[in-house]
Each structure stands twice: as structure tokens, then as C-alpha cells.
Structure 1
Amino acid sequence: MRVASEMGGVGGTTVMLAQETGLARLVEALEGTAREIDVTFARAGSQLGEGLGLFEGLKERLTTLSTDLSGPEIARAGTTLSGLAGELRAINDGLLQETGVLQQLAAHSKDASQVLERLLEHMRLITILARSARIEAVSVQAAGRDFGDFTSEIVALTTQAQRTIQNCARDHDHLSALLGSALEAQRDFEGRYGQALSALAAKLEQTLVEVTGRQQRSVALTSDAATHSGKIAMAAGGAIIALQSGDSIRQQLEHAIKALRLLAAVTAGTGEGAALDAEARTAAGIVLRRLEAAQLEESARSLAQDADSIEAALALLAGDTAGLLDLVRSLYQGDGGRSGSFLADLEADLAEASDLLAKCDRARAGVDRVTSAMSTVLDTCQQTVAALAGTVSSIVLIGMNAGLRAARIGTGGRSLVVIAQELKFAADQVAADAAQLTPTFAQMQETSVGLKSGGRLDAAHFAALDQAMSESLAALRQTGDRLAATLDQLTREGGGFASVVAQARLSFSNAGAMSDLIASGAAELERSVAEAAMPDDPAAAAAAAQLIERQVWPNYTMVGERTIHQAIVGALLPAQAGAAAPVVVAAPAQDEADDFLF
């Protein structure tokens, strides 16, 4: 039989003191670890409970945000956006069409100007002929023939026709100037903004697709949030269950500490160990060291496993919450993760459209002025042409009569005959040119209808568009402000939740160190008896078994502790394990009540 060397002489006393000192340090370290485990698990549980409260608010904000994103304000804005894109394309097409109308009017106006210029030349010739006729009429009158009425009527009709044509020419010059100004403004606008209208229409249509997509995604946000919430709730539940294990580990350590104090008493031969002889103390010491080494090793393993489980749950909480917030931000914010809302991008598009519409409206003002003047001037010119036709007919008729009368005179009226023939020829020229004006002005009147059509985008239409955009922008700003406030609150609550989870994770950052400390204590106990052998004395073994079963076994509250105890004692004290069993289970009801996992 080999007995530990501390049982003999001065050397034994020294080893005993060293072992007592080591046990004291181990007990002190385990006591500190037990307290730290208790505090750590309790703090983490409190922090997680606070985090779950924050998460409930987080889910409420998510619901509010999803409702707003799929709300009627954004739906109406999408409708306005769709209509506006169509309007911009219609404006662009209308401008191109009206430019063509103005160009046609300008071409007709140029033709009319040339005809009016020829008419004025003809009228100047007729005036000269009328004056010549008056001079010749004087000589013919001296011969006894009166042509004064003829010449006076010719002069009066010529003067009237000339004045009419001059008025028409003046009005037409005004119309031509308006046409030139409007055409220049129209071409200038097309050069500056024609492509911008088409580009903005395409941009608005693309934005509309994005808005529609965000609306659809906002509907899906609720189910996505529910999925994330379910994961987070499961992770939180798993963390809470794992946190409950802290109490079990603390109890295991307390039981081990109590057993180590018993070991110290046995080693010193005091307290419960005073009644044992040296052989029994040696046996009890070996069994207690190996027993508590096994119990501490199991505690270290459980702590490491629970810490890993809690860390994984907290990491899932942090990651899934961050993913949920990223989902919301990507839905609410513009592309590229900008800080502003996508509604701000939409507002900018609408503001750009409003500015372009204002420019387009100003360019249309010239067309409006032409359209306003066109009807009056064309009516005046057509009336002039109609009146001119009657005047020309009268001139031709009077000239023919005068020619006939002059021909009867003979040689003395020959000059008047020639003049009358010239008048008739000039009048025929006037009639021919005037006949060209009628279809020209009719074509201008018909062409100008394109500037006065019922679907024309006039100032009133622009005003209605601007009003619709202003109302949409106001509604969007209200929605944007509300969404921004909700997102800010969501971000704060999400940040608070993430902070709480981070603190809980930090609290467990030393769990591995605590597990290692417990494991090192187990290893130290195991090393201290690595070379020791159990005494062969049955009486010593029986005494050690009774001491352990009486002082250690009743402390256990968990099945795992009892399983380890029975395995170690059964291995080291096989002859005593069965005999001691009746003592152990003296109160089976109490034991069964205690056999549950914390």
C-alpha cells in the first residue's frame, strides 16, 4: 500500500501546507468565478429583456413605415407622375407639330406678301392711268364730250382700292412679324429644351417604375419583417433559455466549493476530517479530488457550451436586426444608399418638370399672340380681297364704257381708248393677283386651326399641370416628413436594440476565460492525485465513503452531478458504493423532486 507522503514527518507537513494553500486559492478563485457567472448571466438577461422591449417598438415602426410606403399619397403621386410623363411627351410632340404649322403659315404669308406687293404696283399703275385719263378727258371735253364723271369715278375707285390694299398689306406685315417672332422663339425653345422634354419624360417613367416597385416591396416588407422578427424572437428565446443555465453552473460551482472545503478539512484533519485516521483521510482526499475534478470539468464544459450558444444567439440577433434595418433603408432611401428619401428624388424630378413647363409656357406666349392676332388679320385680309374684287370689277366696267364712248368720238378720243385698254389690262392683273390671295388666306386660315385646336396645350393647361404638380409635391413632402420621422425613430430603436445586444455580447466576452479557469482548477486537482493509489484498508475505504455520502451527496440538485458522483465513487470505492446506496436514497421523494435540469 502506497500512502501520500504528506502523512509522514516534516516533509509531509510541508506538502500538506502547500496543498492547503493551493486548495484555498482554488476555492477563492471558484468563488469569484461563481459570483462573476451570476452577475454576467443576470446582467445579460436584463439587457436582453430590455432589448426585446425595444424590438416590440421596432416591429411597430416597421408596420407604420410599410403602411405609409404603400399608402394613397404615394399612389396618387405615381398617378400624377405617369400623367406628367405623358403630358411632357405630348408637349414635345405638340411643339414639333406647331413648329410645322408656323412654318407653313410663314410660307403662305411670304406668298401673300409677294401678291400684295404686285397688287400695290398694279394700283400705282392704275393711279397713273387714272390721272392720264383725267388729263385726256379735259381735251375731249373741249371737243364737246364730257368724260369728267368717268375719270372722277376711276380715280375714286382706284384710291379706295389702293387704300384697302395698303391696309391689308400693313396688317399682313404685322402678321408676318408675329409669325417670324413666334417661329424664332419656337425654334429657340426646341433647340434648348426639346431633347430635355423627351429625356425628362423617360426619366419620370423610369422613376414611376421605381415608385411602383417600392410600393410592391413595401407590401412585401410586412412579411419580410415577420420573417426577420420570427428569427429574432427564436434567437432571443434560445438566448434566454441558455441564460437560465447560468444558475445551474453557479450551483455546480457552489457544490464543488463546498466539497473542496470538506477536502481541506480532511487534509488538515480538522472538522469532519478529525474523526478519520490517516488511511481514511488519504482515501477520502483522493476520492474528493478526483470527484471534484470531474465535477469542475463538467461545469467548465457546460459553461463553454452555453457561452457559445448564447454568443451565437446574440450574433444572430445583431445580424438579423441589422439586415432588417438595411432592408428598410434600401426601400426608403434613394439609390446608392444616399441619406435622403427616394421621395426627395421624386420631388427633384417634379421640380425639374415644373421648370421646363414654365419655359415651355413662355415660349408658347409668342404662339398665343400670333393665334390671337391671326384671326383678326386674316378676316381683315379676306374682307379686303372680297372688296377688292368688287372694286376691280367696277374699274374694268367703267374702263370698258369709257373706251366705247371714246371710240365714237373718233380720232380725238383715241388716247382715252388706249388709256381705257391699259386700265382694263391693269385691272385684269389686279383681279388675277387678288384671286391668288383668296386661296392663300384660306389656306392660312385652315392651317391656323392647328394652333387653336381643343386639345392644344395653352396657358390654362400649363396652369392646371402646375397646380397638379404643386399638390402632389405638397402631399409627397408631408409623406416624406412622416416617413423620415418614422425611419429616424426606427433607426434609433434599432440602434438601441443593437447596442443592448452588443453590451450583452460584451458581457460574455470573458465567459471563455471563466470556463478555462474552472477547467484549470479541474486539471490541478487531477494532477495532484495522478500518482496516488487508494489505500487497501477496507475500513478506511468505508469511512471515506460514509463521509462523502453524508457530506457531499445531499448537496446535489441536478441529475448530472449525481451521475458523475456515482461514476467516480463506483470506480474508486467499488466495494462501498452498493453498501452506501441505501444511505443515499433515504428520502426518495425529495431526491425525485430535485432531479430536474435548470
Structure 2
Amino acid sequence: MIKNKTQASTVSALSAAVAKPRQDIEESFVSVGARLSEGAMMLNKLTRLFEALPTALQGEEVIEASSQLRSVASTARQLTEDFGKEKANLNRLVEVVSAANGPINELRRTVKMIGIVSINARVTAAGIIGDSDDFDVFTTDIATLSNSAHTTIHEFSQVYRQLTAEVDRAASQRERFDKAHAHTLTELAQQLDETLEALDRQRLTAVEGSAETGRVSRQIVGRIGSAVMALQVGDSTRQRLEHIETGLDCLADIMAGKPVDGAVLDDAVTAEALAALSTLEQEQLRATASSFADEVGEAEGALQALAIDASTIMTASRNLYGGKGGDASALSTLSAQLREAAAILRDCETERNKLEALAAAVQQTVSVLLGHVAAVQEIESNMRLVSLNAAVRCAQLGPRGASLTVIAAQLRELTTETVVAAEAAMTRLDEASALAGAFVEAAGGENAGQIGRLEQLANHAMTLLTGLDERLSVASASLNADGPKVISLLQAAAKGIDGQSRLAETMDDIALQIAGLSTDPMPDPISEALAPTLEGLRKTYTMEGERQIHNRLFGNAAPAVEVEDAANDDMDLDALMF
């Protein structure tokens, strides 16, 4: 009996030894299953998120926005050409107005000389005047003409100075505009074209890549199923080890002399039980260890493959739609360009309005100036008349009018100079009026308000793209936040399986110790007193492999496997994953 108690203690120790790898396996596979479950849910969420993007990129709103932005780019180029023409016209206006300065200065000089001639005429006429002589042309008419000419040319010059100031201001305004926006619209058009081409490529790539994404996604689903199936080895091994522990505990009770099925077995049956149960449990343990060693490798491979597939689809999504470690998506780049474009277009519109206002002011001033030209022309006419009257009067005076003849000649010469200067000034001012009119006409022409319309188109396109851009941003943010977590979880799950094969060696070592409990051969036939114990153990089995070993050792006299036993062989996904 002492020997049996010692053996009972040894068997109990072996049962406890079997419990250790069972607990390790249970803890390890529960942890792996939890990581797989969390990673799979996050991965499924991300794949659904990115699988929907190709359809969104092909949507009508994106197509409409792209069309509008191409129109923006085209019109921006046309406006650049218009701005170039306006600049040339403005430069010509500056030249023309500046060129009028010479004739106008000549007019001022001529008027000044007329004033001097007027004084000389009065002084000379006073020296030769007689009671019956009419010298009004020299004493009054030339003076009146001088005063009138001085007033008219003075007003003319003032308006001209105003025109010069306004033209210079317009030129300065345009110079500042050109410095700030000389190439703005051209660059905007080029950037939009390049980004729209990139968006088209991205849309095409998204459509072409969606098939591959779908394939990898379906493969991932298969991988998850395979991983779940492979992880069943943990649960099945745990159950089989529990059954081995139950068998060893039963053997320990027998060896300790405890009643079994209500009766204490005699020494002969006890020895028979030791041989039978030690053989049964060591074979069960060897088979469990062998199955575990084979299937744990498959589980590790399935998890590693899943981690690789997850990394592949994460990388593909990041490369396609932009994100951390990749270039910004064409859509996000376009949104940024549109925000910048809207600001640029508003600035252009403001500057263009200022330029148009200045052009209108120039035209108005030129119109006023041309009105003064009529007065200058009247002066020319009066000077001709006074000059003619002076010549006639001098002829009537004969030798007495010799000195006045010189004055009349000077007046005729000044009249000729006035005509030449006035015509030159009018020629320049007529051209200036035409150029200023061209500015005003352009302001109300077919391109009027184009910049404002461009801004409206750009804003509308940006509104259309905002929703999709937000979806891309959410997808990219989720990818950046959850992608590394998914990879980490799946890799951690794979590492959690790594090294579990050593437990198979531990189980083999325990099996050798169990085999050493008895050197007696397997009893044949089995004692009737032991049969209920063996049948009770057989009823605890949940795996077909366990029943096959039992049947091979003790025959298939046991009742057929019940339906509920077969059901236990099915994969309990909820039990594993949650």
C-alpha cells in the first residue's frame, strides 16, 4: 500500500505537470486570439473605408469639379494674354501723354511771346498814334488775344498735368500689380493642369487598383478564417490535456486506494489499471504533442501571412491616397491650390478694378482736355484774324507803320507756331483718348468680370471636392492611426505563437515519465472491474483523435459517439475570439 501511495503521489505530480503546459497554451492562445480579433476588426474597417474610395473618385462631383477647374485654367491663360495687351496699351498711353508735353510747352512759350508782342505793340502804337488813326488792333486786339490765350493755355496745361499724374499713377499701379502677379495666373493655370492630370492618374490608378485591393481584401478574409481555424489547436490541445489530467487524476485515486465507482480495487486490478491507464494517457499525450507541434506551425504561418497581407494593403492604400510616409494625394494638393487660387483671384480682381477705375479717370480727363483743345483752336483762328488785321493796318500806315509791320510779322510767325504745336498736341491727345477708351471698353467687354467668375468656379469646385477630400483625410488619418496598430497586433499575435512548439517537447517528456509508471504489458482482456472507469474516461473525450486512440487500445465496445460529442468538434469562433 505504501508503494501504491508513492505511485499515487508520482501520478498526481505528473497530472500537475500536464496542467502547466495546458495553462501556458490557454493563456497564450487566448491572448493571441484577442489580438487577432482586435486586429481583424480594425483591418476590416480600414479595408471597407478604402474600398469605397475608387467609386467616390469616379463620382459625378469629381468629374464636374475637374471640368470647372480646367475652365478656370483655360480662362486664366486668356486673362494673362489680356493683361499683357493692357500693359502694352498702358505703356503706349504713357508714351503718348509724355509726347504731348513738348507741343504743350511750345504752346505755353508761344502764349508768353504773344504777351511780349502785345506790350511791344501798345508801346510802338503809342509813339505814332494820331487823332484820326485807328490802332485798336495793336493797342487792344492783340492784348485781348494775349490774355485770352494765356487763360486758355493755362487751363489746358493744368488739365494736362492732371492727366499726366493720373497716367503715371495708373502705370505705377500696374507696375506693382505686375510685380505681384506677373506670372500668377499662368502659374495657377499650370499648377491646376498638373494637379488635375495627377488627379486623373490617381482616379485611373484607383480604379485599376480596386481589383487588386479587392483581391487582397478577400485574401485577408480567407487568411483570418485560416488563422481562426489554425488557432483551434490551442483550444483542442487544452481540452485534450484536461482529459489527460482527468485520466491521471483517476489513476492517482486508484493507486491511493480510493473507491472507484463505489468499490476499492484489489491489488491485481490496481496493477492492471496502472498498466492500462499509463499506456492510455502517455499515448494520448504523445498524440496531443504531435498534433500540437504540427498545427502550431500552421497557426504561426497563417498569422504571419495575415500580417504581411495587412502590411501590403496598408502600403498600397497609403501610396494611392497619400498619408504618412507617402506623397500628399492629388485631391488634397488640389484643395490647397484652390484655397490659394481663391486668394490670388480676389487680389487680381481688386487690382484689376483699381486699374479699370484709373483708366476711366484717364479717359474722362482726356475728354476734358480735348474740350480745351477747341478753345486752343479758337485762339488759332483769332490769332490769324488779328495778324491779318495788323498786316492790313500796317499797309495803310505806309512808312509810318514800319515798326508795327515788324510786330505784325512776329504775330504771324507766332500764329504759325501755335498751329503746329496745337496740331501736334491734339494728335497725341486723340491717341491717348483712344487708348483710354480701349481700357474702358475692355472693362465692359466679353472678359469683364472673368476673374470674379473664375473665383466663383474655383470656390464651387472646392465645395464639390471638400466632401471627398474630407473622406480622404479621414481615411488617411485612420490609416496613419490604426494601420500601425493593425500590423503591430497581427505581428504580436504571430510572435505569441512563436515558441509554442517547445511545449510539445515538454509534453513528450511528460509522456515518457508516464510510460515509466508501469513495466507491465497492456492487460488483455481488460478486467470487468476496470471497464466502467475506462468507459467513463471515454465519455469525457471531445476530439475524434482521442476516441480513436482509446478504441485502438481497448476496442470499440463503447457506445457510438453521441451527436453532442460531434458538435463539440466544431469550431467555436465566439469562444476563441471573445
Q: What range describes the TM-score normalised by the shorter chain of this pair? A: 0.7 to 0.9
Match of 1:171 among 153, 159, 166: 159
- Match in the other structure for 1:240: 228
Once the two structures are TM-superposed, the CA of residue 370 in structure 1 deviates from its matched residue by 3.1
Moved more, 48-57 or 407-416: 48-57
Is 1:112 aligned to 2:86, yes or no?
A: no
- Alpha-carbon separation, structure 2, partners of 1:240 and 1:17: 44
Residue 310 of structure 1 pairs with residue 286 of structure 2: no
Higher fraction of helix: 1
The superposition leaves residues 501-521 of structure 1 with CA deviations (integer Å, 9 ceiling, x where unpaired) of 578668756744543432222
Distance 1:99 1:203 in 2: 24
Matched, 1:431 2:431: no
Q: Which amino acid aligns with 1:299?
A: T
Q: What is the 5 A alignment of 1:110-259?
A: 110-137=98-125, 142=130, 144-149=132-137, 152-194=140-182, 198-199=186-187, 201-219=189-207, 222-246=210-234, 248-250=236-238, 252-253=240-241, 256-257=244-245
The amino acid across from 1:148 in the alignment is: D
1:524 aligned partner: 513
Q: Choose 118-127 or 99-108, whichever is displaced more.
A: 99-108
User: Structure 1 CA distance, aligned partners of 2:415 and 2:458?
Assistant: 61
Distance in 2 between residues matched to 1:319 and 1:471, nearest whole Å: 42
Please tell me the residue identity of whatever aligns with 2:291. Answer: S
CA pair 68-265 structure 1, distance change in 2 beyond 3 A: same
1:118 Cα deviation from its structure 2 partner:
0.6
- Return the TM-score normalized by structure 2: 0.76
Q: What is the alpha-carbon distance in structure 2 between the residues aligned to residue 444 and residue 54 of structure 1?
A: 73
User: In 1, Cα distance between the equivalents of 2:32 and 2:104?
Assistant: 100
When residues 22 and 203 of structure 1 are mapped into structure 2, their CA distance, relative to the original with a 3 A threshold, is: farther
372, 376, 381: which one aligns with 1:388:
376
The answer (yes or no) to whether the contact 2:54–2:206 under 8 Å persists in 1 is yes
Unaligned 5+ segments in structure 2 are 571-578
Q: CA deviation at 1:121?
A: 0.8
What letter is aligned with 1:25?
A: A
Q: How many residue pairs are counted as aligned between the two chains?
A: 562
For 1:517-562, what per-residue CA distance to the aligned partner results, in whole angstroms no more than 9, with x for missing partners? Answer: 3222234345778xx6x77xxxx86446999999769937766557
Once the two structures are TM-superposed, the CA of residue 410 in structure 1 deviates from its matched residue by: 1.4
Partner deviation per Cα, 1:290-329 (whole Å, 9 max, x = no partner): 6644442231122233333233333444454455455545
**RMSD of aligned C-alpha atoms?**
4.9
Specify whether residues 558 and 377 from structure 1 end up closer, same or farther in structure 2 by C-alpha distance, changes over 3 A only. Answer: closer
- Which structure has the higher relative contact order (CA within 8 Å, separation 6+)? 2
C-alpha separation between the residues in 1 aligned to 2:250 and 2:355? Answer: 109
Tell me how far 1:234 sits from its aligned partner. 0.2
Q: Which amino acid aligns with 1:184?
A: S
Structure 1 residues 207, 151: CA separation in 2 closer, same or farther (over 3 Å shift)? farther
Structure 1: how far apart are the matches of 2:511 and 2:407? 145
C-alpha contact 1:334 1:342 (8 A) present in aligned 2: no
Give me the whole-angstrom Cα distance separating, in 1, the residues matched to 2:95 and 2:485. 75
State the Cα distance separating 1:411 from its structure 2 match: 0.6
> In the superposition, relative to structure 1, how do residues 409 and 163 fare at CA in structure 2: closer, same or farther (>3 Å)?
same
CA distance in structure 2 between the aligned counterparts of 1:458 and 1:167, rounded to whole angstroms: 37
Identify if the C-alpha distance between structure 1 residues 157 and 71 changes in structure 2 by more than 3 Å, giving closer, same or farther.
farther
Question: Quick check: 1:259–1:292 contact (8 Å CA) kept in 2?
Answer: yes
Deviation at 1:112, TM superposition (A): 0.3
Residue identity opposite 1:112 in structure 2? A
**Could you tell me whether the CA contact under 8 Å between 1:92 and 1:198 is conserved in 2?**
yes
Give 1:384 deviation, angstroms.
Answer: 3.7
Residue in 2 that maps onto 1:296 = 285
Matched, 1:373 2:361: yes
CA distance in 1, matches of 2:505, 2:446: 82
Letter in structure 1 aligned against 2:404: L
Instruction: Give the drift of 1:445.
Output: 3.1
Q: Does 2:10 align with 1:25? A: no
2:392 equivalent among 393, 397, 404: 404
Contact 1:108 1:440 in 2 (8 A): yes
CA separation of 1:418 and 1:557: change in aligned 2, threshold 3 A: closer
SS in 2 for 1:452: helix
User: Where does the alignment leave 5 or more consecutive residues of structure 1 unmatched?
Assistant: 1-9, 570-579
Look up the SS of the partner of 2:132 in the other structure: coil
Q: Deviations over 1:423-454 (max 9, x none)?
A: 11111111122222233223323433553353
Q: Answer with 100-109 or 264-273: which moved more.
A: 264-273
Relative to structure 1, the CA distance from residue 435 to residue 30 in structure 2 (aligned partners, 3 Å threshold; closer, same or farther) is same
Shift of 1:268: 8.1
**Using a 3 Å threshold, how does the CA distance of structure 1 residues 593 and 105 change in structure 2: closer, same or farther?**
closer
TM-score normalized with structure 1 length: 0.74
Report the more deviating stretch, 71-80 or 236-245. Answer: 71-80
Alignment of 1:415-454 (within 5 A): 415-454=403-442
